[in-house]
Structures are given as C-alpha cells and as structure tokens.
Amino acid sequence: MIKILVLRSSENTTLFSDLCTAYPNIEWVDIVMPFLPGRGESIEERTKLLKTVKELIQPFKNWDVIFYARAYGAFSPSGRSALHQTVGGPIVTAPGSVLEFGTEHQWTSWFILTPYGQSRHDFEVQWAMSHGLQVDASACLGYDNGVDIARLTVEDLIPAVLTGNRSPADGIYLACTITRTIIMGNDLRKHTTKSFVSATDAMLWSLQQKYHIR
C-alpha cells in the first residue's frame, strides 16, 4: 500500500477524512502544521517553513509522496524547489499542481473562484497573472476563516460556478484545499460545460499523472 504524508493547516479540518474516505487503498498520514505568518516567501519565512516541514516529517519513514495541501511557501518556483530539496523525495503542492493542470489542459484563459475575502482573493488573482496566466474574470465569496470555508456547500458555490460558465475563460479554477471538492466536485461540474478544477482536484490529478496513484 502506498504511503502519503498529508501536510495541512490546522484550519483544514476535513481534508484528511475526505481523502481517507475517497481513497481507502492509500495509507494517508495526517500531519498538522502550526500557524506560520506571512506567505512563506521571504527568506525568514521560508527558513522557518523548511525547518518546520523537516521536523514534522522526520519521524516518518518509508513514505512515497508528500501531499503538501497548502500554498504557503509554494507560490513561487523557488519555494516549490526548496520544499522538494528539504523533504528529499516526491512532493505535490497545490500551486504547482494547479499550474501544471492548466498547462496540460491548454487553458489560455482562466476564471478564478475563491472562497476568500477581497484582499486574499486579489492576491490569488495576482499570483496567477504573475505566472503569465490570463484571468478573464474572477469571483470571491468573502470568507477567510477556515471553519467557514469548510462549511461551504454545493448550493453556496453553484452561483459562482454559473458565473464562471458564462465567462469566456477556458476553465474554472476553485482555490483553497479547505473547500470540500473531493465530495462536492462532481455536483459542481454538472453546472458548467467548461473544464473545472479545484486546488485539491489538481493535486490528486498530479498524483495520478506522476505517480500513477488511483
């Protein structure tokens, strides 16, 4: 049985159980990360992050992949590279997987949907544009608290998905691994004719593509 270490924020309270339910043939190991300030991209923040990650995974041996269900410290190519070097093995990150999914599916324009408040949403859009992505339109739901995001239902998300479906974008990207798209994704896809991916979807897709994990 393949063994995957799940590194998640303390606010992401439902992801691990959703993974275990959806993929019972994988040995998922739950690792909760402490709160770290900032975005994880300054020298000081990155140093602290890498030290924390190294200490958290040190007790676990013979794992196959790390499922880094966060964007913290993984927004930039250098950040993702530093995480890979630190863990010393395969690692899947949310930002890296999203970018790879868009490239593989030839998205030239994006509709970005986030559960966040305006400031955090704007950062997500700016991040996408900084990687050369064309963002045709976007929408945010106004939540920054992880507990509130985890409580979002299909009904909460459908109006924004319909808005994305009316946009000229090639695909709809739903940010944040706290959104429970493992259990809601198929229902959301029924409301769009466009390609649709969430941060968690992209990470699972990456596992399947790179490591043949089903």
All residues at 6 or more sequence positions from 54 whose CB lies less than 8 Å from its CB, including other chains: 86, 87
CA distance 7 to 57: 9
Between CA 89 and CA 83 the distance in angstroms is: 10
3-state SS, residue 10: coil
Architecture per CATH, 94-197: 3-Layer(aba) Sandwich (3.40)
Q: Where are the domains of the chain?
A: 1-93+200-209, 94-197
For residues 161 and 139, what is the distance between their CA atoms, to the nearest angstrom?
Answer: 9
Supply 29's token pair: 């190991």
Convert 31-50 to b/e letters by CB count within 10 Å (16 or more is b).
bebeeeeebbeeeebbebbb
Task: Tell me, yes or no, if the pTM score tops 0.85.
Answer: yes
* Under 8 Å between Cβ of 64 and 39: no
What are the residue ranges of helices labelled H in the chain?
15-22, 43-57, 77-87, 94-104, 118-130, 146-150, 154-166, 181-189, 199-211
Return the CATH architecture of domain 1-93+200-209: 3-Layer(aba) Sandwich (3.40)
Is 94-197 in the same CATH topology as 1-93+200-209?
Answer: yes
What string of pLDDT tens digits covers the 214 residues of the chain? Answer: 899 999 999 999 999 999 999 999 999 999 999 999 999 999 999 999 999 999 999 999 899 999 999 999 999 999 999 999 999 999 999 999 999 999 999 999 999 999 999 999 999 999 999 999 999 999 999 999 999 999 999 999 999 999 999 999 999 999 999 999 999 999 999 999 999 999 999 999 999 998 877 7
